Amino acid sequence: MFLDLKRLLSHLPTDVDRHDTFLLLQHVLKIPYEKLFFTKKINITDQEFIELDKYLHLRSVGMPIAKIVEHKAFYNNEFKTTIDTLDPRPETELIVDLFLKYFPYKSAHISILDLGCGTGCIGLSIIDLYPNATLCLADISEEALAVAEDNAKNTNLKQRCSFIKTDWFKNINGQFDAVVCNPPYIENGYQLDKSTLYDPHIALFGGNDGLEAYKEILPCVRKFLRSGGFLFLEIGIGQRIEVCKIAKSTTVIEIAKDLQGIERTIVFCNG
Ligand X SMILES: C[S@@+](CC[C@H](N)C(=O)[O-])C[C@H]1O[C@@H](n2cnc3c(N)ncnc32)[C@H](O)[C@@H]1O
| Segments in 30-158 forming alpha helices (H) | 33-37, 46-60, 65-69, 93-102, 121-129, 142-154
Complex with ligand X: residue 75 or 168, whichever CB lies closer: 168
Complex with ligand X: residue 11 or 223, whichever CB lies closer: 223
Which one of residues 8, 202, 256, 269 is an interface residue with ligand X (CB under 6 A)? Answer: 202
- Shortest distance, CB of residue 11 to ligand X, whole angstroms? 36
Interatomic CA distance for residues 52 and 225, integer angstroms: 48
Length of the chain, in residues = 271
For residue 225, give Cα distances in angstroms to 74, 120, 175, 263: 26, 20, 5, 24
- Size, binding site for ligand X by CB under 6 A: 21
Complex with ligand X: residue 183 or 210, whichever CB lies closer: 183
Span near ligand X by CB under 6 A; candidates 47-55, 105-113, 180-188, 225-233? 180-188
Cβ-proximal residues to 179 (8 Å cutoff; 6+ apart), any chain = 112, 113, 115, 221, 224, 225, 229, 230, 231, 232
- Cα atoms in the 13 Å half-sphere on the side-chain side of 138: 20
Complex with ligand X: residue 29 or 133, whichever CB lies closer: 133
Site for ligand X in 96-135 (CB under 6 A): 116-119, 121-122
Span near ligand X by CB under 6 A; candidates 4-12, 18-26, 102-110, 181-189? 181-189
Q: Taking the CB of residue 3, how many other CB atoms lie within 10 A of it?
A: 14
- Shortest distance, CB of residue 211 to ligand X, whole angstroms? 13
Interatomic CA distance for residues 244 and 158, integer angstroms: 34
CA 184 vs. chain centroid, Å, equals: 12
Q: What character string, x for contact with ligand X (CB under 6 A) and - otherwise, covers 48-87?
A: --------------------------------------x-
Which one of residues 55, 168, 230, 268 is an interface residue with ligand X (CB under 6 A)? Answer: 168
**SS3 call for 206:** coil
Complex with ligand X: residue 16 or 95, whichever CB lies closer: 95
Site for ligand X in 133-152 (CB under 6 A): 139-141, 144
Beta bridge partners of 4: 41
Complex with ligand X: residue 45 or 171, whichever CB lies closer: 171
**Phi, psi (rounded to 5 degrees) for 116:** 75, 55
Q: Are strands 71-74 and 77-80 parallel, antiparallel or unpaired?
A: antiparallel
C-alpha Rg value of the chain to the nearest Å: 21
- Shortest distance, CB of residue 126 to ligand X, whole angstroms? 12
Q: Is 217 in the site for ligand X (CB under 6 A)?
A: no
- Shortest distance, CB of residue 4 to ligand X, whole angstroms? 40
Which one of residues 23, 137, 178, 203 is an interface residue with ligand X (CB under 6 A)? Answer: 203
Q: Give me the residues that bind ligand X (CB under 6 A), please.
A: 86, 88, 92, 116-119, 121-122, 139-141, 144, 166-168, 182-184, 202-203
